[in-house]
Structure 1
């Protein structure tokens, strides 16, 4: 079952996001298994929001384990993602 993963990063900056994204997409395992799509931007309250789509929660959790050291290196604060079932995912 596909899932939607929403990450709210209070106080997160575009600079932190861009640095962590460059580290992740530069990894030899990129793109990770189960990855469907990604979007990110300011949350309107001084933080950052990320919304991902994955084939399964297990695929997302495996990605988290791979990215943890990279995110620590970029200074991205710890976050608690919200995972919910996706009834439908449509790509252009």
Structure 2
């Protein structure tokens, strides 16, 4: 079952997002997030919200999300955001156009 996940980063901005992406792609032969082989990722959106920055994604399954999280968790921890708890819930409906 598809899941929706939302990460909120209070007090953070685009700079944090860009640094996370740069660290994850660096040395792997990729130039941007879209090039990463994120198996199971259906959609990804990121942008500013009041008081911070938000990343929202849709994944094919919780297992796919967990695999993805193993790549990003150490980077977030290194940048001081190990305490960010995502909101995860099942997708009732998902439309791709």
Shorter-chain TM-score bucket reads: 0.7 to 0.9
1:43 to 28, 39, 49: 49
Q: 1:66 to 1:32 in 2, by over 3 A?
A: same
Question: What is the CA distance between 1:25 and its match in structure 2?
Answer: 4.3
State the shift of 1:67 in Å.
1.7
**Normalized against structure 1, the TM-score is what?**
0.83
> Shift in Å at residue 31 of structure 1?
2.1
Please give the alpha-carbon distance, in whole angstroms, between the structure 1 residues aligned to 2:22 and 2:92.
Answer: 30
Q: Which runs of 5+ in 2 are unaligned?
A: 30-34
Scaled by the length of structure 2, what TM-score is found?
0.79
Count how many residue pairs are aligned between Structure 1 and Structure 2.
90
The equivalent of 1:54 in structure 2 is 59
RMSD: 2.0
- Structure 1 counterpart of 2:77: 72
User: Where do 4+ consecutive residues of structure 1 move more than 6 Å?
Assistant: none
> What residue number does 1:6 align with?
6
Mapped to 2, the partners of 1:58 and 1:34 lie a distance apart of 9
Distance across 2 between alignment mates of 1:67 and 1:84 = 19
Structure 1: segments with no counterpart, 5+ residues: none
Query: CA-to-partner distance for each residue in 1:5-63, whole Å, 9 max, x for gaps?
Result: 0111111121011111233345469222211110111111x211110000011110111
